[in-house]
Structure 1
Amino acid sequence: MTIPLLTKNLTTTPAGAFPALDVMADLAHKRGYTINSWFAIGHFESEGHTLNYLVHLFALSIGGITVGVDSAASITNETTGWYGVRHGFHPIFRASVRSDRLQVKTPHSSLSGTLDELHVRAQMKGASIDVTLRAVGHPLYNKGTGRFDMLGMDVFQYSIPTLETSGRIIIDGREFPVSGMSWFDRQWQKQPLGPPQGRWTWMDLNLSNGWKLSLWDAAAPNGNSDAWVTLVDESGKHVVADLAPLIDGACDYWLSPQSNARFPTRWRVSVAALDMQLEVIARPREQEVKGLDARYEGASSVSGTVRGEKVSGYCYVEMVGDWQA
């Protein structure tokens, strides 16, 4: 079955969504925000291997002036346990960001094009990513509007859960042709400089029943938490539901020998309103991105039940902040 292009579906607003942003107009860099972020991830089966890729670029601005681009790229081979990652902060004279169209580049990664033809490339030691994405289906407006408060930050975020993907991933000289689906996130916000005040976890839950969910769990230093999921089904309908705080079911903690940061690598995801109980497991455990702040970006498997029926799936888990306590 041919899935309609996302750009065609944008002519109507999905049921349950009340957008506070414009998917097309807000794709390129937006001036006046400290952080502009573009994030692409994919999950594929290729030649008997289960592969995942991540490319995350964000432009940092101070006083309205873009000073640089932070980039992270990783590849995870769940079959062999191979993991490669490259991170770097690039001053603006070594990177480029466009505000008239989507184009973000660093010396070893780039993300450019349109939603009908989005190019994602990255290089790291012994590996590379070169894929082209085509947005189909429906957008996901986080929290139903695409705008929400998180730890005192005014955050704008939309997701595109289904992008038809083709291209290649190279690991240690071996080329893996890839085809399937990627997930794309666009976010911008006015975030205070310095270490995060509190911690947050994000997941893109791709389930075998056709559900796509964006999960947020934010915990302030005083212990207050805000946790929810935004569900979009195959018709584009949105449902926002409360999530049991992840700390209640997080376990299998891993201590990074590089940053001394502590991260869980197994989680229980419980959403009563959706009658959904999931277990998420990162494989391998060692998937840290050592950036401006300690950050975990882990390819993970998903299993559990929705309304009494078994489901499986996959996701990435992003964690930022202090999990030591």
Structure 2
Amino acid sequence: MNNPHPTMVDASGELAAKDPEMLDSWWFAARLHDDETTFWVKIHATGLHGSCISTVALLRELDGHSSVRHVPEAIHEVALSATSFDVKTSVLAMSGDLDAMEISGDTDTASIRLSLRREDPVLYNGGAGIFPFFDGMTVQYSLPGLTTSGTITVDGVTREVSGRTWFDRQWAAAGSGPQAFTWLGLDLGAGRYLSVWDTVGDGTSWLTALKPDGTHTITRAQRTGGDGHWTLAIPDLDASLEITYRGLPGAGGPLYTGVCSVTGTLEGHDITGHGYTDSAGRTWERPVVHQLIPR
């Protein structure tokens, strides 16, 4: 797929690991289903200061089954390729290229094996893929609607699943804290995606909107609410979105990850969708300061 605008990031060439001292992140979140069950999945590997943190989380509807593993390891105990996309730790594995990926992860009670295929353009945050972030710059691009198939095994029972996965690739020089953010990645259907950043803490946000033809729009937004529900107003897109969110397993730590259901209007049309949220630090939902963790 051709890029419809200039960027500062070689998305295909930047999947490999960076300097071990940098913040380095490969973040996957998925909404999957079989004939009767919906699953939410997170598989995330983070490198920082010579260590690697792996997270695998699963939430199953409607029974609420959940499980999570969050494992820190020294960088010499894992495999992070500097020449290709190939990440292996004690609880997860990721590999492939920009158009096709394989990811897997294990909790104490569940095993996840997924194949991902790209059909949409790359979403470059800020349009160019690089933007100011607190005391430095961060690089972030997304593959927000990867077509997904595979299996999820819970307590020895294996189900074939399909759905969509959001992948974020992010890296930056390690900054000095305290730092905080709230991020939203929203899949609004029909190839429309929003990546929303709030680093102020009062709901004032900026976002990158991606259309099916690869067009990027960077504009402002305002988020209000809390306690499981937000309203996101985006004047330049004639959009008002109602977002209901809840935490994935393990969301009580320094980095909160939630899953979202979305309804509302966009450019004068009714929409429904889903998405994900991450937050860390001093927001009105989470009044505790933490060092920045990439996501």
Structure 1: 4+ residue segments shifted above 6 A:
none
- Answer yes or no: is 1:212 the counterpart of 2:193: yes
**Aligned 1:114-125 pairs, distance under 5 A:** 114-125=97-108
Q: In the TM superposition, what is the alpha-carbon distance from 1:101 to its structure 2 partner?
A: 0.8
Which residue in 1 is equivalent to 2:25? 37
1: CA distance, partners of 2:263 / 2:102: 31
Change (3 A) 1:233 1:317: same
Q: State the AA in 2 paired with 1:318.
A: D
Q: In the TM superposition, what is the alpha-carbon distance from 1:290 to its structure 2 partner?
A: 5.4
Q: In the TM superposition, what is the alpha-carbon distance from 1:184 to its structure 2 partner?
A: 1.0
Q: In the TM superposition, what is the alpha-carbon distance from 1:185 to its structure 2 partner?
A: 0.9
- Answer yes or no: is 1:173 the counterpart of 2:156: yes
Which residue in 2 is equivalent to 1:72? 55
1: CA distance, partners of 2:204 / 2:132: 10
Which residue in 2 is equivalent to 1:201? 182
Q: State the AA in 2 paired with 1:237.
A: T
1: CA distance, partners of 2:130 / 2:94: 23
Q: 2:12 aligns with which of 9, 24, 29?
A: 24
Q: State the AA in 2 paired with 1:321.
A: G
2: CA distance, partners of 1:277 / 1:78: 27
8 Å CA contact 1:288, 1:298 repeated in 2: no
Which residue in 2 is equivalent to 1:134? 117
TM-score (norm 1): 0.82
Which residue in 2 is equivalent to 1:82? 65
Which residue in 1 is equivalent to 2:46? 58
8 Å CA contact 1:40, 1:54 repeated in 2: yes
Which residue in 1 is equivalent to 2:293? none
Percent identity over the alignment is 30
Q: In the TM superposition, what is the alpha-carbon distance from 1:33 to its structure 2 partner?
A: 5.6
**Aligned 1:186-265 pairs, distance under 5 A:** 186-192=169-175, 196-219=177-200, 227-244=205-222, 246=223, 249-252=224-227, 265=228
Which residue in 1 is equivalent to 2:229? 266
Q: State the AA in 2 paired with 1:232.
A: L
8 Å CA contact 2:186, 2:193 repeated in 1: yes
2: CA distance, partners of 1:33 / 1:93: 13
Q: State the AA in 2 paired with 1:238.
A: H
Q: State the AA in 1 paired with 2:178.
A: Q
Q: State the AA in 1 paired with 2:96.
A: G
2: CA distance, partners of 1:106 / 1:158: 23
- Answer yes or no: is 1:13 the counterpart of 2:3: yes
8 Å CA contact 1:209, 1:311 repeated in 2: no
1: CA distance, partners of 2:186 / 2:277: 9
Q: In the TM superposition, what is the alpha-carbon distance from 1:157 to its structure 2 partner?
A: 0.5
8 Å CA contact 1:73, 1:87 repeated in 2: yes
3-state SS, counterpart of residue 17 of structure 2: coil
3-state SS, counterpart of residue 169 of structure 1: strand
2: CA distance, partners of 1:140 / 1:172: 36
Change (3 A) 1:181 1:286: closer
2: CA distance, partners of 1:100 / 1:290: 35
Q: In the TM superposition, what is the alpha-carbon distance from 1:84 to its structure 2 partner?
A: 1.6
3-state SS, counterpart of residue 241 of structure 1: strand
Q: In the TM superposition, what is the alpha-carbon distance from 1:32 to its structure 2 partner?
A: 7.2
Deviations 1:37-72 (A, max 9, x none): 1011111221211111111101113xxxxx121111
8 Å CA contact 2:120, 2:191 repeated in 1: no
Q: In the TM superposition, what is the alpha-carbon distance from 1:87 to its structure 2 partner?
A: 0.6
Deviations 1:138-165 (A, max 9, x none): 0000010100012223100110112221
CA RMSD of aligned residues (A): 2.0
Gaps of 5+ in 1: 1-8, 62-66, 253-264
Q: State the AA in 1 paired with 2:238.
A: D
Change (3 A) 1:84 1:151: same
8 Å CA contact 2:56, 2:91 repeated in 1: no
8 Å CA contact 1:87, 1:289 repeated in 2: no
3-state SS, counterpart of residue 205 of structure 2: strand
**Aligned 1:83-98 pairs, distance under 5 A:** 83-98=66-81
